[in-house]
């Protein structure tokens, strides 16, 4: 057997999530397969991305484990991104942006906060993306915060708003301090 044949294929899932530690090698392998499927089919619903009922069932089994947390899944990708940043010799940017993840109608999802005009339910997802500006090459996600917007009492004063630890403008500071 040649050396090229003995090495596993470098897929998106292996490169970005192959170092995950979800407590069992079968879960780690499932994460790699899920990442590969999602990277091949970024649009559509999860059942469409998984392409078969058995793959979708594997995904649901994976995400419904206590060991499979946002931090545990994201950690190997962030480490990969940081390694690429260390290897890059030129200018790099850490671009921050917040988007809404809309889970309105999914009451079984815990810890949802207000989104949109206050009638929607979901999370704010604050992303820090590492980018090489000259080539516009995206190195990867350097950090991510899922934030649940709390219910704010009517009549809350300006001073109380500014002092509230859950204030959304603090997401930017938290992301920077994570570095």
Per-residue pLDDT tens digits for 75-94: 999 999 999 999 999 999 99
User: 4-13: long-range contacts (C-beta < 8 A, 24 or more apart)?
Assistant: 11/36, 12/36, 12/39, 13/39
In whole numbers, what is the pLDDT of the chain averaged over residues?
A: 90
Q: Is residue 79 part of a domain?
A: no
Which pLDDT score is estimated for 107?
Answer: 76
Which pLDDT score is estimated for 75?
Answer: 97
Confidence class for position 1, pLDDT limits 50, 70, 90: very low
Tokens matching residue 138 = 């995206």
The CATH number of the domain where 17 resides is what? 1.10.246.40
Number of domains in the chain: 2
Which pLDDT score is estimated for 176?
Answer: 87
Which pLDDT score is estimated for 4?
Answer: 54
Domain that holds residue 54: 9-68
Highest mean predicted confidence (pLDDT) among 8-17, 25-34, 113-122, 168-177: 25-34
Mean pLDDT, residues 47-51: 91
Please give the Cα distance from 33 to 49 (Å, whole number): 11
Specify whether 95 is located in the same domain as 179.
Answer: yes
Q: How many CB atoms lie within 10 A of CB 162?
A: 9
Per-residue pLDDT tens digits for 86-119: 999 999 999 999 999 999 988 777 789 989 888 8
Contact in structure between 168 and 147 (CB atoms under 8 Å) = yes
Which pLDDT score is estimated for 169?
Answer: 87
Between the alpha carbon of residue 88 and those of residues 21, 84, 133, 137, 174, the distances in Å are: 27, 6, 12, 11, 24
Does position 3 have pLDDT exceeding 60, yes or no? no
Specify whether 57 is located in the same domain as 109.
Answer: no
Which pLDDT score is estimated for 6?
Answer: 55
Specify whether 42 is located in the same domain as 116.
Answer: no
Specify whether 136 is located in the same domain as 168.
Answer: yes
């Amino acid at each position: 057997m040649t050396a090229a044949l003995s090495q596993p294929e470098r897929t998106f899932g292996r490169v970005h999530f192959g170092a995950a530690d979800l407590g069992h090698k079968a879960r780690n392998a499932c994460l790699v397969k899920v990442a590969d499927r999602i990277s091949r089919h970024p649009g559509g619903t999860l059942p469409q991305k998984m392409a078969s009922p058995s793959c979708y069932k594997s995904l649901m089994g994976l995400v419904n484990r206590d060991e499979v947390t946002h931090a545990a899944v994201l950690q190997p990708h962030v480490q990969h991104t940081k390694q690429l940043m260390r290897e890059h010799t030129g200018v790099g940017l850490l671009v921050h942006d917040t988007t809404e993840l809309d889970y309105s109608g999914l009451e079984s999802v815990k810890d949802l906060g207000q989104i949109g005009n206050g009638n929607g339910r979901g999370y704010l997802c604050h992303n820090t993306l590492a980018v090489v500006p000259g080539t516009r090459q995206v190195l990867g996600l350097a950090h991510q915060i899922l934030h649940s917007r709390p219910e704010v009492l009517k009549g809350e004063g300006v001073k109380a708003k500014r002092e509230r630890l859950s204030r959304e403008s603090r997401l930017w500071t938290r992301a920077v301090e994570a570095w």
